[in-house]
Structure 1
Amino acid sequence: MGPEALEIYLNDHLAGATAGQFMSRHLAEHHRASSHGGALRRVADEIAEDRRSLLEMMDALGVPAHRYKVYAGRLVEKARLFKLNGRVTRRSGLSSVLELETLRLGIEGKSLLWQTLLSLPPAKGLDRARLQDLLDRARHQIDTVEGMRREGAVTVFG
């Protein structure tokens, strides 16, 4: 499969990165006045940077970004508005818990992306130090989001 598989893989992660970028911005905006507002803004900014890094790596590998995957990522993120949270017209605490869980899963997937790219042969020309930094940052993002998720779950579920 080779290059075609890598193209599909990277574009699928680009779709996920797009969804994660919008979801993290939404969460940061919704919680801007809370004690977690600053941390969520930082995570959202980092997720946007990580997406740009992915695009740069795709370019370096000669992998074109497929617009339909980017649009699909945006649609997936918008689909979260249709889930039931026990309230018809407004958010509930459950909304934040589920969104934080979804964001954490996305960041977990991103960390696997960086691990996979680190496992490619050096001949691919990717900056291994940069990939390691991205992996370390993803792990820190996971810890940050997980702390918020746990706190939110305790609040919602008692």
Structure 2
Amino acid sequence: MDQQLERYLNDHLAGSSGAILMIQNFAETVEHPEARDFFIKLKQDVENDRELLKRLLETAGMRSSTVLNVAGDLTARVGFLKLMWEGFEPGKLGLFEGLEMLALGVQGKRLLWLALQEISAWYPEWSDVDFRELELEAIKQRDGVEFWRIEAARDALPDIDRRTRALEKVG
């Protein structure tokens, strides 16, 4: 069972590597100062979560997997290339889809904290970790990403020229 937990924690550790890459790009490309501040803070939060995951692995006598971390980073970079092709600039599909992927990842982190809260009684070395608080923080992060995702949807999805022409024909 510990091997499965070790793999699960390593999978989340690997996923966070890709998330940091994406968040850094968002922080560098978004136009709104509020969005930039949000993504800078989110990047720091995800880096802190990575350190916590490493500590959870270590205190439970498990190891972080270099292979899984490299594989996760490589997977993230390949997916990132597709999004770059779509464009990360405001109004581009890549920004919207990237934020959607990030929202899903943050929701996955929330579910990680819920699962670890359920099994934490079997790991007394984790007694100082407030998994409920981590879950609540993940909910706030997810809601923040969702706010900016919806903003990006408004910019990227409607074809304004086509809609304007359609309205002109009706009118």
Same fold (TM over 0.5): yes
Q: How far apart, CA to CA, are the structure 1 residues paired with 2:84 and 2:54?
A: 34
Query: Deviations for 1:123-158, whole angstroms, at most 9, x for unmatched residues?
Result: 312236522221111110000000000011011123
Q: How far apart, CA to CA, are the structure 2 residues paired with 1:12 and 1:109?
A: 11
Query: Is residue 2:146 matched to residue 1:146?
Result: yes
Q: Residue 84 and residue 135 in structure 1: after superposition, are their counterparts in 2 closer, same or farther (change >3 A)?
A: closer
> Aligned residues, how many?
155
* Unaligned residue ranges in structure 2 (runs of 5+): 159-171
Q: How far apart, CA to CA, are the structure 1 residues paired with 2:56 and 2:100?
A: 27
Residue matched to 2:81: 82
Q: How far apart, CA to CA, are the structure 2 residues paired with 1:43 and 1:97?
A: 17
More helix by share: 2
* Correspondence list, 1:9-158, <5 A: 9-31=8-30, 34-83=33-82, 91-92=88-89, 93-125=92-124, 126-127=126-127, 130-158=130-158
Give 1:54 deviation, angstroms.
0.9
Matched-pair contact (CA < 8 Å) for 2:84–2:94: yes
Q: Residue 24 and residue 48 in structure 1: after superposition, are their counterparts in 2 closer, same or farther (change >3 A)?
A: same
Larger radius of gyration: 2
Matched-pair contact (CA < 8 Å) for 1:7–1:64: yes
Q: How far apart, CA to CA, are the structure 1 residues paired with 2:106 and 2:83?
A: 24
RMSD: 2.0
TM-score (norm 2): 0.82
Give 1:4 deviation, angstroms.
1.3
* Unaligned residue ranges in structure 1 (runs of 5+): none
Q: How far apart, CA to CA, are the structure 2 residues paired with 1:107 and 1:138?
A: 6
Q: What SS does the aligned partner of 1:64 have?
A: coil
Q: What SS does the aligned partner of 1:120 have?
A: helix
Runs of 4 or more, structure 1, over 3 Å off, are: 32-35, 84-87
Q: Residue 123 and residue 20 in structure 1: after superposition, are their counterparts in 2 closer, same or farther (change >3 A)?
A: same
